Structure 1
Amino acid sequence: MTLVKWLLLIVLVVVTVKQCQHKEEVSLGPGVKVAQAPVQSPLSQVIPFNFEGYQITPLAHFSLQAKVLGREDYRLDRESDLSPTDLALGWQKMSDESVLAKIEITQTRRWYYWQVEQFPIPRRDIETQSANMHMIPADSQVATVLKKVKTGQIIALEGQLIQARATDGWSWKSSMTRDDIGAHACEVVYVTSLTIVE
Structure 2
Amino acid sequence: MSFRTALVLLTLLCALIWWQATRPVGAPATPSRSGITTSAASSRCPMPPRTERGAMPLQTDVPAGMSLQAIGETNLRPLAGFSIEARVLGREDYRIGHEADISPIDLALGWGRMTEDAVISQLDIRQSSRWYRYSWKDTPPIPVEEIVRSSANMHMIPADDAVAAALRRIERGQRVRVDGWLVEANTNNGWRWRSSLTREDSGGGACELVYVCSITRE
Rg comparison, structure with higher value = 2
Instruction: Select the residue among 128, 133, 139 that pairs with 1:108.
Output: 128
Report the counterpart of residue 37 of structure 1 in structure 2. Answer: 56
Residues 27-176 of structure 1 correspond to what in structure 2 (within 5 A)?
A: 35-48=54-67, 49-117=69-137, 118-176=139-197
Q: Secondary structure, in 3 states, of the residue corresponding to 1:144? A: helix
CA drift at 1:52: 2.8
Matched, 1:196 2:217: yes
Change in CA separation of 1:113 and 1:46 when aligned onto 2, cut-off 3 Å: farther
Change in CA separation of 1:161 and 1:85 when aligned onto 2, cut-off 3 Å: same
Q: Secondary structure, in 3 states, of the residue corresponding to 1:45? A: coil
- Structure 2 CA distance for aligned equivalents of residues 92 and 38 of structure 1: 10
TM-score after normalising by structure 2: 0.73
CA drift at 1:189: 0.1
Report the counterpart of residue 19 of structure 1 in structure 2. Answer: none
Gap runs ≥5 in structure 2: 1-52
Q: Secondary structure, in 3 states, of the residue corresponding to 1:68? A: strand
- Structure 2 CA distance for aligned equivalents of residues 46 and 77 of structure 1: 31
- The amino acid of 1:45's aligned partner reads A
- Structure 2 CA distance for aligned equivalents of residues 76 and 70 of structure 1: 19
4+ runs of 1 displaced by more than 3 Å?
A: 46-49
Gap runs ≥5 in structure 1: 1-33
Identity between Structure 1 and Structure 2 (%): 44
- Structure 1 CA distance for aligned equivalents of residues 65 and 119 of structure 2: 39
